[in-house]
Amino acid sequence: MSALVWLNGILLSEESCVGISPSDRGFTLGDGVFETIRVSSGIPLYVEHHLERLRIGCSLLQIPINYRDHELLVYIGETITANGLSEAVLRITVTRGTGKRGILPPTNPEPTIVISASPYESHLLGEDISRVNLIVSSVARNNLSPTSRIKSCNYLDNILARMEASEKGAYDAVMLNTNGEVACTTSANLFIVQEGRLITPPPSAGVLNGTVRRVLLDRLCHRLGLSVIERKVSLQDLLSADEVFITNSVIGVLGVDNINGNRIGKRDSGEITLDIRRELEKDIDLYKTHFRWQGSVS
């Protein structure tokens, strides 16, 4: 069965999805934003955080969204149901829509909105991996750009860094910012553990405020009695940490075994990472218990 895609209000098969124009600025210039949402037991996890960040990104780029959150939630539910997926990875993409040749956008854009879903494949996404290896990429994260803190459709720096990691047999790549400070990986936030407390780079380092990162800072660390601070993290801080782990909405929490071949912590380290991973699993179960689909679009 062909996957079904929600495109500007209509569910279409991928094969017949011809409603995106070749002059769409998302295609020609990467002029848009996106969100990737984990679906578990048919529930889009932390969807309210994703929609909030989507709107922040659209506001920065001055792209209007003519749908309210509860309407988008209905369309998300329709896409999940139409594809018959209970465990999935869902993506919302909003582009500025079509425009004339050139960089300057149209005065009154008509955005293109696409919602798609694909099966969640744990063996590809790290669910059955406890610890991974990283490299430090030669590609810098531009912390001076306002787009470093949104999920822009232009992911070229991340793509180049991820290709570098793949060529070196690593799971992912650490990206340093223009000051040489640790920012993130190509698709995840970074946390280090030093003497029992958590440290993570602040958004000013060029960090996207990931949804799992947000949940950790808002409540999980408090529940576990863990101290957590946002501050600049040097490469030496990273390499000398007791533990390192990465987070995003799809993989959850994943421990790091080594970086550039340098082992992180002691052989039996990783206890705090494991505690946080278990607490996140509890939070997800609680979220699914309390989640309620809203009514139809009126």
Residues 207 and 260 in one domain: yes
Residues 6+ away with beta carbon under 8 Å from 140: 157, 175, 176, 177, 178
pTM of the model: 0.93
Residues 86 and 133 in one domain: no
User: Residue 90 belongs to a domain with what CATH number?
Assistant: 3.30.470.10
pLDDT at 134: 98
Residues 143 and 248 in one domain: yes
Residues 135 and 248 in one domain: yes
Residue 298 has pLDDT above 50, yes or no: no
Alpha-carbon distance 62 to 2, whole Å?
A: 34
User: Residue 201 belongs to a domain with what CATH number?
Assistant: 3.20.10.10
Residues 26 and 95 in one domain: yes
Residues 6+ away with beta carbon under 8 Å from 187: 158, 162, 172, 248
Range of the domain at 110: 4-120
Is 15 contained in some domain? yes
Q: H or E stretch including 54?
A: helix 47-61
Residue 145 has pLDDT above 50, yes or no: yes
Residue 50 has pLDDT above 60, yes or no: yes
Which of 120, 148, 179 is the endpoint of a domain? 120
Residue 131 has pLDDT above 90, yes or no: no
Residues 68 and 168 in one domain: no
Residue 73 has pLDDT above 60, yes or no: yes
Is 296 contained in some domain? no
pLDDT at 128: 52
Is 292 contained in some domain? no
Which of 120, 147, 165 is the endpoint of a domain? 120
pLDDT tens-digit readout, 169-203:
999 999 999 999 999 999 999 999 999 999 999 99
Residues 43 and 70 in one domain: yes
